Amino acid sequence: MKKKTILIPTDFSVKSLNIVKSALSINGDCELRILLVHGLELPDSMTDLLLFSKKKLLEELETKEFRASCQMLISKYDSNLIELSVDIFSGYNKRAFENYIEANEVDEIYALADHDFLPRHKSSFDLMPFINKSSTNLIKVKWMSLGENFKQERDELSGIFFNQLSSI
């Protein structure tokens, strides 16, 4: 099986995990390493930097529903999902992002076509400008809600269900 690394921008909403779902269903024949990346500026004060812990920060950012959804995805795509990891990108320019992509050997980037970014943290920033300018293969997916009345929930567990991939 081919191996592939996919980068997906996330704002820690359950909704953004739908991209993971589509990436996994499109690449059914590949072994995937999926990197969920969130843009976050590192604190610039001395004490904050000293006490900085990525693990703690991620724990703070991930909601219970987000974690449960990730686990559901893992149990669904057990055989072709090698790794699903969450990371923080804290570079300031396009060059830094390119370096990050190169370092993590990213093959493809998946993003939502109707991307609406909602900062989870006060120093969160949107990765889309970097992704759009990046030279890596970008695949945009569009999701459609199944119910007439359903607005897709951002943070509820049902956000990962009741919708379908409408276009790539």
Task: Say whether residue 85 binds another protein (CB under 8 A).
Answer: no
Q: Which is nearer to another protein, 17 or 112 (CB)?
A: 17
| 155 scored as a contact of another protein (CB under 8 A) | no
Amino acid present at 161: F
Nearest to 136 by CA among 168, 165, 167, 97: 97
Q: With contacts defined by CB under 8 A, name the span among 7-15, 37-45, 53-61, 150-158 that binds another protein.
A: 150-158
Residues 6-65 that bind another protein (CB under 8 A): 21
Rule CB under 8 A: is residue 157 a binding residue for another protein?
yes
Q: Does 78 bind another protein (CB under 8 A)?
A: yes
Residue 154 C-beta: closest distance to another protein, Å? 14
Give CA separation, 60 vs 55, 104, 146, 152, 164, in Å.
9, 24, 31, 23, 30
76 is an interface residue for another protein by CB under 8 A: yes
Q: Which residues, at least 6 apart from 24, have a Cβ–Cβ distance to it below 8 Å?
A: 32, 34, 73, 76, 77, 80, 81
Q: Among 45, 53, 79, 135, which residue sits at the site for another protein (rule: CB under 8 A)? A: 79
CB of 68 to another protein, least distance (A): 4
CA pair distance 152, 26, nearest whole angstrom: 21
Taking the least distance from each CB to another protein, the nearer of 101 and 141 is: 141
Please, which residue, 20 or 127, has the CB nearer to another protein? 20
At residue 59, the 3 state secondary structure works out as: helix
R_g over Cα of the chain: 16
CB 38 within 8 A of CB 89: yes
- Interface positions with another protein (CB under 8 A): 21, 67-73, 75-79, 146-150, 156-158, 160-162
